Structure 1
Amino acid sequence: MSESVPPTAFSTVLRTASSEEHAAAEHSSFMGHLLNGRLGVDAYAQLSGQLWFVYRALESRATELAAHPVVGPLIDPALLRTAALERDLTHLLGADWRAQLHPLPATAAYAARLEELAETWPQGYLAHHYTRYLGDLSGGQIIRGTAERTWGFERKGPGVEFYVFAEIANPAAYKREYREKLDAAGLAMDEVERRRVVEECKRAFTMNGAVFADLDTRYPLSA
């Protein structure tokens, strides 16, 4: 009698299924030029500004979602980024930074999708929660290091606070625990729902890449 094969962990399913979309966003022209120092601090400031619209939408209903039986265990105040982004933007653009920012079309669509999911489909919201925060804890640290070296920001100081998770002492351990919670969330869904979340995870990376593409059009070097 053959032994049954345990199901693949949901976090692994999400990572594997979205790898193509993840790579496309990660290797966009805008991010490539930003990370190799070919774009100026203005481009970095504009990226931070667009992220503010995204995170304001992502986090606007976090307190309510903390009570959700599936999503709630992954909601953690230590992850919240909006306040840190606002401090960075004050440093980058000055006290009137709000008046200087306007969401690009892809950013507006992204934020609208996050607001819609938080209200109508928390499991789908979870796909974006995963792509954003684990990305910030991982590849986001490369962006922070580049910004510090290229534009002389104080290490983990004003201008890069968005990428600094001061309340998370051990990011590697935190990411392992997050994936375990994500796996538990997957077990709480049926197969149809899991497949829908996988598709939403792909969409999350695609929407993130669309923001980079819109930013790309603002800088001739990226053309």
Structure 2
Amino acid sequence: MSVVIPFSQALRERTSASSATGDIGCTFMADLMTGRGTRDDYVQMLAQHFFVYEALEEAAERFAGDEVAAPFLSPALTRLPAITSDLAFLLGDDWRSRIEPLAVTSDYRARIRSASEWVGGFIAHHYTRYLGDLSGGQLIRGIMQRRFGFDTNGVGFFLFAEIAEPKEFKSTYRRQLDAVDWSPEARESVLDEVAVAYRFSTELFVELAAAKAAASAAA
């Protein structure tokens, strides 16, 4: 008899496989974390995340009354107000007119919107983005504060102030995933969409690196 592993474990394994086959040539985030990246690089990364989270949190509003999605929709995860505040601090009150999505960001945003026509597709993107940012947020925030002299302004995106115990929060989230009564077909569809979401997240950093290199070459 085959053993069905918990859904949350299957998701972790799928993202681990995606990570193993990701573009190892992407150095954008590594540069930012090790001091080779600039303040402008950080701002550009936040700008692209604005467009991603705008689409994701629009979808979250539509699913607020959905029986399957509702347990995952904690206000403590909401990132868009923090990103807009960060960008206003970093770029000024006219920040919205000063940013635009990269091609991959536009594609990513469109994928979130199309996938979110079904609750499983929405949860796939919700899981990939929020748990990923929650996992790395504290480390990234600390490095950006030291590198660029930020206090809390400018790094609000990575400050999950209402989540005192991220590890416990993620464990609860995964238990909620396991509690959903997925059909085998729905389960596989969510797993496939998580792989798509992870690929877009990776490709976003690849394109950020490419845009930076192109700007440097043109300077």
TM-score of the two chains, using structure 2 as the length reference = 0.91
Is the Cα–Cα contact under 8 Å of residues 39 and 148 in structure 2 kept in the other structure? yes
The 8 Å contact of residues 137 and 159 in structure 2, kept in 1 or not, is answered as no
**1:31 corresponds to which residue?**
29
Matched letter for residue 45 of structure 1? V
Task: Give, in angstroms, the shift of residue 5 of structure 1.
Answer: 7.0
For residues 71 and 21 of structure 1, the distance between their equivalents in structure 2, rounded to whole angstroms, comes to 24
**1:110-149 map, 5 Å:** 110-118=108-116, 120-149=117-146
% identity of equivalent residues: 42
In the TM superposition, what is the alpha-carbon distance from 1:218 to its structure 2 partner? 2.1
| CA distance in structure 1 between the aligned counterparts of 2:143 and 2:66, rounded to whole angstroms | 37
Aligned pair 1:193/2:174, yes or no? no
User: What is the Cα deviation at residue 141 of structure 1?
Assistant: 2.3
Aligned to 2:60: 62
Provide the C-alpha distance between the structure 2 equivalents of 1:147 and 1:49, rounded to a whole number of angstroms. Answer: 16
The yes-or-no answer on 1:181 pairing with 2:176 is yes
CA distance in 2, matches of 1:41, 1:8: 43
Q: Confirm or deny: 8 A CA contact 2:18 2:198 kept in the other structure.
A: yes
Alignment check: 8 A CA contact 1:26 1:209 kept: no
TM-score calculated relative to the size of structure 1: 0.90
Q: CA RMSD in A?
A: 2.0
Deviation at 1:26, TM superposition (A): 8.5
Amino acid at match of 1:88: D
Q: Work out the CA distance in 2 between the residues paired with 1:49 and 1:87.
A: 11
Q: Distance in 2 between matches of 1:68 and 1:196?
A: 19
Equivalent-residue separation in structure 2 for 1:131 and 1:102 (angstroms): 23
CA distance in 1, matches of 2:24, 2:135: 12
Counterpart in the other structure of 2:203: 210
In structure 2, what is the equivalent of residue 166 of structure 1?
161
Deviating runs (4+, > 6 A) in structure 1?
none
Instruction: Tell me which amino acid in the other structure corresponds to 2:42.
Output: Y
- The alpha-carbon deviation at position 25 of structure 1 amounts to 6.5
Q: Which of 4, 22, 26 is the equivalent residue of 2:19?
A: 22
CA distance in 2 between counterparts of 1:182 and 1:116 reads 21
SS state at 1:212 partner: helix
Q: Distance in 2 between matches of 1:77 and 1:26?
A: 34
SS in 1 for 2:37: coil
Distance 1:176 1:75 in 2: 15
Q: Deviations over 1:42-81 (max 9, x none)?
A: 0000000000000000001313212222222111111100
Counterpart of 1:52 in structure 2 is 50
> Shift of residue 6 of structure 1?
5.5
Unaligned 5+ runs, structure 1: none
Q: Which runs of 5+ in 2 are unaligned?
A: none
- C-alpha separation in 2, matches of 1:54 and 1:22: 20
